[in-house]
Amino acid sequence: MEAAVQPKRITQATGADRPLSGIRVLTVENFIAAPFASMWLADAGAEVVKIEVPDGGDFARSTSPTKPGIDGLPSSLSFLRANRNKKSVTLDLKHPEGKRVFKSLAAEADVVLENLRPNVMDRLGLGYAELSRINPQLIYAAISGFGHGDIQPSPYGDLPAFDIVGQAMSGLMYRPERSGDRPVYLGFSLADIQCGNLALHGIMLALIHRARSGRGKKVDISMVDASLVLNEISVTMYSATKQVAPPGVHAVTAPFGAYRVADGYIVIAVIGEHIWKRFCDVIGRPELVGDACFDSGTSRREHMNALNAHIDAWLDGKDRDEALGLLRAGGVPCATVNDVADLFDCPHVAARNMLMQLDDPVWGNIHVAGNPIKMSDVPEPESNVPPLLGEHNRDVLRDWLGMSEAQIGALREQHAI
């Protein structure tokens, strides 16, 4: 079971060995989308300071399931998923002193990242226009449901959104196979994490642009846009054919799906006639290559019942290892269909260090998804547990702004931190 688990620390290398060492990131973030982007920035060596409201912090801290934390506040598994290697500073951004401190921090930052509703930061006097005036080199990245109005406004720009909204509006929920007519939520934070991916991408583009021009940029990520990109094949095929592919069926080819074997399911993926020929050879039916019903990906898709009958006959009595062994030997893309428990025994997951262990004081040894970006001569990310609320108030205010203990104490007395 432990074969796939990444050791707590692969290396003792410092942040200086990482590509974003020296980059300072200030976040105003909740839940999943922006926290995933900033977590990957932190994994790459950036100093990520998470600005949280003093009364409870990031909403993910109190999202179930929770346990009582060592600081008396809820400790949530959701918060563990996306906040390793960060620092936490509490600031009341509605308080005049809280705003002043935030602006001072932004003046020292390379990146500000937020996923509040559009215009919230502007109403606080802390949006891109104000912060870029203070720090013209600042990169300001914003994630929202429908995007910000100052770049390409959406008619839905002011509406709130969660992951399921992005999946629904982008057409993704129509795609999975289902029983009945009810569309299916994919069951995980696909739209949120895709937003995090694209925010990370946009921030890196802006950093490169700044290195060349000396100027900052605003990066605007819409959850619906980010999700639509994942549904791009449906867009292109519908544009060409004006036909909507049935749920659960690949838009352009077959076989491309899950098939039952004696001990579970495998997937078979045939794209291109060269792989179709290999597949026919593997299953002992080379004559199917010349069958007019199967002479292209779309024709095979149109005759799925007949095609599946041939495949099911070949798989009859075979277990996963036998079927996958024959398909792989023949050069046909295939895999077992894992459940989450299988990931802890998967040789690939172990080899790529894709399960990271966090030694959390409340939850114990908890495994989270590792970092999928692997680079030569760069150590695996550290596995520092997510911060307690306000854990780094003193350190950050001292190191970034040179504040004294008396100044920090005054902010505390004013309830600004």
Quick check: helix, strand or coil at residue 107?
Answer: helix
Backbone angles phi, psi at 167, to 5 degrees: -65, -40
Average the pLDDT over each of 3-12, 55-64, 131-140, 143-152 and give the range with the smallest value: 3-12
Q: Report how far residue 214's alpha carbon sits from residue 203's, in angstroms, rounded to the nearest whole number.
A: 15
Interacting residues of 297 by C-beta distance below 8 A, sequence separation 6+? 252, 253, 254, 270, 271, 272, 276
Catalytic entry in 43, 92, 110, 192: 192
192 catalytic? Reply is yes
User: Mean pLDDT over residues 235-258, rounded?
Assistant: 90
Q: Examine the pLDDT at 2 and tell me if it is beyond 50.
A: no
- pLDDT at residue number 245: 84
Q: Examine the pLDDT at 10 and tell me if it is beyond 50.
A: no
Model confidence at 223, in pLDDT bands (50, 70, 90)? very high
- pLDDT at residue number 175: 92
Model confidence at 374, in pLDDT bands (50, 70, 90)? very high
pLDDT in tens, 326-336: 999 999 999 99
Is the model more confident about 10 or about 251?
251
Interacting residues of 182 by C-beta distance below 8 A, sequence separation 6+? none
- pLDDT at residue number 13: 42
Q: What is the mean pLDDT of the chain?
A: 95
Model confidence at 15, in pLDDT bands (50, 70, 90)? low
Domain 256-342 has CATH 3.30.1540.10: yes
The CATH code that applies to domain 2-231+375-413 is 3.40.50.10540
Q: Examine the pLDDT at 275 and tell me if it is beyond 60.
A: yes
Quick check: helix, strand or coil at residue 303?
Answer: coil
Model confidence at 179, in pLDDT bands (50, 70, 90)? confident
User: Mean pLDDT over residues 150-164, rounded?
Assistant: 97
Q: Examine the pLDDT at 5 and tell me if it is beyond 70.
A: no
Domain boundary assignment for the chain: 2-231+375-413, 256-342
- pLDDT at residue number 17: 84
User: Mean pLDDT over residues 251-275, rounded?
Assistant: 95
Structure token digits, residue 309? 């009958």
Model confidence at 11, in pLDDT bands (50, 70, 90)? very low
Structural contact between residues 145 and 166, judged by C-beta atoms closer than 8 angstroms = yes
- Counting residues of the chain whose pLDDT is more than 70, the rounded percentage is 96
What pTM does this model have?
0.93
pLDDT in tens, 50-96: 999 999 999 999 999 999 999 999 999 999 999 999 999 999 999 99
User: Mean pLDDT over residues 275-280, rounded?
Assistant: 98
User: Mean pLDDT over residues 222-249, rounded?
Assistant: 94
Q: Examine the pLDDT at 215 and tell me if it is beyond 50.
A: yes
- Give residue 335's region: left, alpha or beta (phi > 0; psi -120 to 50): beta
pLDDT in tens, 363-372: 999 999 999 9
Q: How many Cα neighbours within 13 Å face the side chain of 84?
A: 24
- pLDDT at residue number 252: 84
